[in-house]
Amino acid sequence: MSFINKRDLYGNNYNACALCEYQREVKLIKRLINISEKAVEKKSGIYTWSYEGICHSFAKTIVDYSKMAYDNVLLGHYHAVKMINRAILENLVCLDIIVNNDELWKYYWVHSYRNTIYKRNRTPNQSDLDTLQKLYKDLDISEEFFVKQEGRKKAYIKEPYGWTYKINENKQFTFENICKLIGEEGSVEYHGFQMLSDYSHGTSFYMKMHSSVFVGDMMTMFIDMYINLYRMVTIYCWDSVEEDFDDVTDELEYIFHRFIEYEEKIYNND
């Protein structure tokens, strides 16, 4: 039984009509999501607050967000797709950092727990604070993480992305800075994040006027979805993905390369 009432959904018929030209891409992206989900679930094991559990949580979130993005593609909500892709990108960078620095999961978990109990500027109850102190002890969290250090305005645990402090040499905790922690990909990731941020903030006049159904915009949307899933798989579950992953990604890359070649030809002729 389906609980989704299609009659109650809002869609953008004008945008959705453009999908008639992209049925191949839509089907391939859906296959890629399904393949990626299977690979992630093969690595789930016992869901615990551990290195494995934290990594699995990030990977599963990326798959779930990709499903949301795909649904919004079908509804013609292309700006929503780009907002979701921005959220995926942020999760992807965090996953990359934790996978490649396996002690950071503890700091992420404590950082996340503290932020949760202090939400909305309320005073946490004593049991929550006791649990937080117990986490410090059980996970062997250094005091330098949760006690303000000399010369700083606040403790690392109170900083956005402060859980990266052990590998963050300049101790600056902007998203731009933590993108640098993943290596050469970092500048590319942050540039993509900047481009997608207009859709999340909704303040760009150009974005408001732009219809997003031009070929370049449509293909960029599919390319972003593909790259995010491909990187998640290669970072986290390359050893559990099935052979059809290569078939789907090869076909998508062929489509994208042809598009890029076409764009370059048009651009060079101008």
Residue pLDDT, tens place only, 107-142:
999 999 999 998 866 788 899 999 999 999 999 999
Residue 120 lies in a domain: no
Residue 41 lies in a domain: yes
* Total domain count, the chain: 1
> What is the chain's alpha carbon radius of gyration, rounded to the nearest angstrom?
21
- What mean pLDDT, rounded, does the chain reach? 90
Once rounded to an integer, what is the mean pLDDT over residues 76-89? 93
Q: Give the residue ranges of DSSP H helices in the chain.
A: 13-17, 23-42, 51-75, 78-99, 104-117, 126-138, 143-146, 175-179, 185-201, 205-209, 215-236, 244-269
Distance, in Å, from the CA atom of 187 to the CA atom of 151, rounded to the nearest integer, reads: 29
Residue 107 lies in a domain: no
Answer whether 56's CB lies under 8 Å from 46's CB.
no
Distance, in Å, from the CA atom of 67 to the CA atom of 13, rounded to the nearest integer, reads: 20
Non-local CB neighbours of 14 within 8 Å, separated by 6+ positions = 76, 211, 213
Q: What is the predicted pLDDT for the residue at 1?
A: 58
Q: How many CB atoms lie within 10 A of CB 94?
A: 23
Residue 207 lies in a domain: yes
Q: What is the predicted pLDDT for the residue at 270?
A: 55
Residue 138 lies in a domain: no
Q: pLDDT-based confidence at 2, cuts 50/70/90?
A: confident
Distance, in Å, from the CA atom of 126 to the CA atom of 113, rounded to the nearest integer, reads: 14
Burial of 136 (0-12, 13-18, 19+ CB in 10 A): middle
Q: Which of the two residues, 238 and 47, has the higher pLDDT score?
A: 238
Q: Which of the two residues, 265 and 10, has the higher pLDDT score?
A: 10
Answer whether 11's CB lies under 8 Å from 24's CB.
no
Q: What is the predicted pLDDT for the residue at 194?
A: 83
Q: What is the predicted pLDDT for the residue at 217?
A: 84
Once rounded to an integer, what is the mean pLDDT over residues 53-65? 96
Please, what sign has the CA dihedral across residues 40, 231, 225, 159? positive
Per-residue model confidence as pLDDT tens digits over 152-194: 999 999 999 999 999 999 899 999 999 999 987 788 888 888 8
Residue 118 lies in a domain: no
Residue 9 lies in a domain: no
Residue 140 lies in a domain: no
Distance, in Å, from the CA atom of 85 to the CA atom of 186, rounded to the nearest integer, reads: 16
Q: Which of the two residues, 127 and 217, has the higher pLDDT score?
A: 127
Non-local CB neighbours of 151 within 8 Å, separated by 6+ positions = none
| Structural domain boundaries enclosing 236 | 31-101+167-269
Nearest to 55 by CA among 246, 239, 235: 235
